[in-house]
Amino acid sequence: MKVFFKRIFTLVGKEFYAAVISPASYGTAVFFLLCVSLWFFYLQRFFALDAATLRPFFAAFPPVFVLVVPLITMKSWAEERKLGTIELLLTLPFSEWELVLGKFFSAFAVLSLILVFTIPVPLSLLPLAFFDAGVIIGEYAGVLLLGASATALGLLLSSLSKSQAASFLGSAVVLLAAILANQLTLSFDLPLPLAAAVNFISLSFHFEGFSRGVIDSRDIAFFLLSTVLFLFLNTRVLLFRRWSSG
């Protein structure tokens, strides 16, 4: 077990360092911060709301993730496949789970670092009104769980893609569908079983409670289980490639 975590830590360090020194990562961070800030202060007109709530701020995170998460994950496997280095990775003494978890934790670390840069926004507003710290913590917890599930999904789709462009487009489309699926139940009068099924697979639906500061164990379980499922499927893709190349 110690060797298992040591190998994962080695992979995470390598991948995270490569992301930190990449100009694309800084561009992604700036894009994310601009989008959520403009949404909150300009489109939602926070100062005209006359309410001490950050819900409009956190409501911007899921739709922006549709573009930001694919930007972070698109190189993970697609670039390895394009350059032919994925075959080299599969010949190294790493298991599929070690490779997948190494990619996942490095990509999730990059996303988490970007989220840290959003903290000055609520901090700058604290002197203006009383904000419930518990609600803000719950909202950030939901963002992290949503980000973990979206990152795992992005990595899975990257492993199925032959290029970064295909990985980005595929991840963006699937994430858009997964995040906005619950809008179908609001726009159309669907049968209750179908509406429940659509809401269940919607990432935004499970994020809504967190956006209100409500931490529901069912939503936590959904995000954790969906993350594990996407990572498991990613290992199956790698295992298939290992068998094919062997």
- Residue-wise pLDDT for 96-131, tens only, equals 898 899 999 999 999 999 999 998 888 888 777 777
Burial of residue 179, with CB atoms counted within 10 A of its CB: 0-12 exposed, 13-18 middle, 19 or more buried: buried
pLDDT, residue 187, reads 75
Q: Which range marks the domain in which residue 96 is found? A: 2-245
Q: Which residues contact 91 (CB under 8 A, 6 or more apart)?
A: none
Domain count, the chain: 1
pLDDT, residue 60, reads 87
Which of 177, 154, 176 has the alpha carbon at shortest distance from 166? 154
pLDDT, residue 172, reads 94
Q: Go through 202-235 and write b for each residue having 16 or more CB atoms within 10 A of its CB, e for each that does not.
A: bbbbbbbbbbebebeeebbebbeebbeebbebbb
* Total residues found in the chain within this entry: 246
For all residues of the chain together, what is the average pLDDT? 85
Angstrom distances, CA of residue 178 to CA of 9, 40, 149, 153, 243: 30, 23, 11, 10, 31
pLDDT, residue 243, reads 72
pLDDT, residue 15, reads 83
Angstrom distances, CA of residue 210 to CA of 80, 151, 172, 203: 36, 18, 23, 12
pLDDT, residue 38, reads 85
pLDDT, residue 236, reads 92
pLDDT, residue 18, reads 83
- Residue ranges of the chain with pLDDT lower than 70? 43-52, 84, 244-246
Q: Which residues contact 130 (CB under 8 A, 6 or more apart)?
A: 52
pTM: 0.90
Cβ(179)–Cβ(200) below 8 Å: no
> Which residue's entry shows tokens 């995170």?
61
Within a 13 Å sphere around the CA of 61, how many CA atoms are in the beta-carbon half? 26
CA–CA gap between residue 50 and residue 45 (Å, rounded): 10
pLDDT, residue 227, reads 96
Chain centre to alpha carbon of residue 62: 9
pLDDT, residue 3, reads 73
pLDDT, residue 245, reads 56
